[in-house]
Structure formats: C-alpha cells, structure tokens
C-alpha cells in the first residue's frame, strides 16, 4: 500500500493497524461495496489519538456524494425532516443551535457547509440568524430549496462565486469525509470568506469513541480521519488557526463528538 506510516499530524509516531474490516458493520452504509468480493478497509491509529481509515474507495465515495448519498426521494426526506424536527428532546441539532446562540450575535451571517437535511440551518433561521447553505447531494439541494434555504454552492470546493463574507462558517460532521490535505485546502479556502472577526465552527467524530469499540459509526468507512482532542488541536494550530474553543461531548444521539471554534 502506498502511504507513509508516520502520522501526518504529529509527525512523531508510526501509525499502527488496529483493525481490518471485511464486511459491513451494524448501521453502516457501504453503498453497495458489500457486494464486492474483496471489500476491505483498515483502521490505523497513532499515539496522538488520531485514527485513519485506509482503503481504496475514495473515488467511489466521491461519486456517491454527488449522486445518491442520501438515497432518499424528496418525499422521504420531508418525512425524515419532520420526524427529526419534532423530536426536540433528542435533537443534537437543537443542542448545537443552543450552543452557538451563546457564542455569536443574533443577526449574524452564517454559512453552513454540508447542510444535508437542513435541520440545523432551518432552526438557525428561526433563531434569527441569516443562513446560507452549501450541499452537493441533488435530492438534498432540491429539498433545502423547498424549505426556502439559500444555496450558494453545490460543491464544497467551489466557492469562487460567493461574494458575501460571514460571521460564522459551520462544518457539522463534514471534514472527516476528506483526507488531511483536502481538509487543509478547505479550511484555508473558507477562511477567505470570513469577516474580520469571523469564526469557523467545526464538529467532527471523536476518537474517544474507541472505548466503546471500533464498530461504531465514528469509525465507519466514509470517515477518513477520526480526530482526538489532541490531534485536532495540533492540526488546526499547524494551519495557523487560533483555537478559541475545543471540547469533547457525548451527544444526545450517542455520538462521541469534538466541537471546535477557530479563527
Ligand atoms: Zn499522531
């Protein structure tokens, strides 16, 4: 296999093979790869707490994101949207909105990157924030538009046409779907869309989930990088960001998650 065994984040330790996966985990979507004879991916870990999912399906996943990541028809999206939205007690989206409400001013101009079902931007609008969205899944794009959410790009890596500047740019469970050099490019790119005091909010799966085993969603196929508090902090500092908030949370939906605010 053609990759360096040194951890690309701390540059200190060799990464070690933790587990090889040959089949689907419970709740995991392999997008049809499970029907292929030689499906295989390897989970590696470094002493800094960072995990790497190493496999040869990145081109395949890229296509999936563009075409049918959601695998839902418009009607089903609407149903799921309402179901999640009504279950307020269990909403990790609402918890996130509550958290951000305390961190930024009302009327702030916010850009949500990778909006998915749009529950987060939808609730943010209700709280008085001005929201723009970026989403690449065709079904989701049409759905977001039907909820009167403002789409400014359908490709995370293409933002040249965006002329606005933002108080806050949010990446909720998005960056783990990219390799490290792509994450670097993406964060640098979006930094250029920030207002003078603007900030970036990041949510990624937390590798602390390993205490409950490796068959969990935090370590699923499409997460190339699973950060630890330590590795995320190191990574962001290397990119010359100032880390103004960094914390691990165990979410109401039982996900181990890291939250960070940087500028
Ligand atoms: Zn490391």
**What number of helices (H) and strands (E) belong to the chain?**
7, 11
For residue range 188-198, list pLDDT tens digits in order.
999 999 999 99
> Is the Cβ–Cβ distance between 154 and 94 less than 8 Å?
no
Q: What is the pLDDT of residue 76?
A: 83
Q: Using one digit for the tens of pLDDT, what is the confidence trace for 52-84?
A: 999 999 999 888 877 766 666 667 888 888 888
State if pTM tops 0.85: yes
Tokens of 164: 């606005």
Cα 225 to ligand 1 centroid, rounded to whole Å: 11
Q: In this prediction, what percent of the chain has a pLDDT beyond 90? A: 74
- 253 pLDDT higher than 60: yes
Q: How far apart are the first and last CA of the chain?
A: 36
Query: What phi, psi does 43 have (nearest 5°)?
Result: -100, 120
pLDDT at residue 73, as a whole number: 65
What spacing in Å lies between the alpha carbon of 213 and ligand 1's midpoint? 20
∠ CA 217-18-36, nearest 5°, is 65
Ligand 1: distance of its center to the CA of 227 in Å?
10
CA of 255 from ligand 1 middle (Å) equals: 23
pLDDT at 51 over 90: yes
Average pLDDT over residues 173-185: 96
Which residue spans within 81-227 are E strands per DSSP?
Answer: 109-113, 130-134, 150-153, 166-172, 194-205, 225-226
Q: Which pair of structure tokens corresponds to residue 259?
A: 């939250």
pLDDT at 31: 86
3-state SS, one letter per residue, for 78-131: HHHHHHHHHCHHHCHHHHHHHHHHHHCCCCCEEEEECCCCCHHHHHHHHCCCEE
Distance (angstroms) between ligand 1 centre and the Cα of 45 equals 8
CA of 231 to the centre of ligand 1 (A): 7
Whether 20 and 211 have beta carbons less than 8 Å apart is answered as no
For the chain, the average pLDDT equals 92
Q: Which range among 53-57, 77-81, 166-170, 220-224 shows the weakest confidence by mean pLDDT? A: 77-81
Residue that the structure tokens 């609008």 belong to: 125
CA of 18 from ligand 1 middle (Å) equals: 14
Residue 94, pLDDT > 70, answer yes
The alpha carbon of 224 and the centre of ligand 1 are apart by a number of angstroms equal to: 14
What is the 242 CA–ligand 1 centroid distance (Å)? Answer: 20
């Amino acid at each position: 296999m053609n990759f360096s065994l040194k951890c690309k984040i701390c540059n200190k330790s060799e990464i070690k093979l933790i587990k090889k996966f040959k089949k689907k985990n419970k709740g995991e979507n392999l997008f049809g790869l499970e029907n292929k004879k030689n499906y295989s991916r390897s989970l590696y870990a470094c002493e800094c707490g960072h995990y790497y999912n190493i496999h040869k399906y990145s081109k395949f996943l890229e296509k999936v994101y563009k075409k049918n990541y959601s695998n839902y028809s418009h009607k089903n999206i609407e149903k799921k949207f309402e179901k999640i939205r009504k279950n307020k007690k269990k909403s990790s989206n609402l918890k996130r909105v509550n958290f951000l409400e305390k961190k930024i001013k009302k009327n702030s101009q916010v850009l949500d990157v990778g909006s998915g079902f749009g529950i987060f931007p939808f609730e943010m609008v209700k709280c008085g924030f001005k929201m723009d969205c970026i989403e690449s899944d065709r079904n989701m794009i049409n759905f977001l538009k039907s909820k009167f959410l403002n789409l400014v790009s359908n490709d995370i890596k293409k933002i040249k046409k965006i002329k606005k500047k933002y108080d806050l740019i949010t990446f909720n469970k998005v960056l783990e779907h990219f390799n490290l050099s792509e994450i670097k490019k993406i964060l640098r790119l979006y930094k250029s869309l920030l207002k003078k005091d603007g900030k970036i909010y990041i949510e990624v799966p937390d590798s602390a989930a390993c205490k409950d085993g490796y068959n969990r969603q935090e370590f699923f196929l499409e997460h190339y990088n699973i950060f630890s508090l330590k590795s995320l902090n190191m990574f962001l500092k290397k990119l010359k960001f100032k880390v103004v908030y960094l914390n691990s949370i165990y979410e109401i939906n039982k996900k181990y998650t890291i939250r960070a605010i940087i500028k």
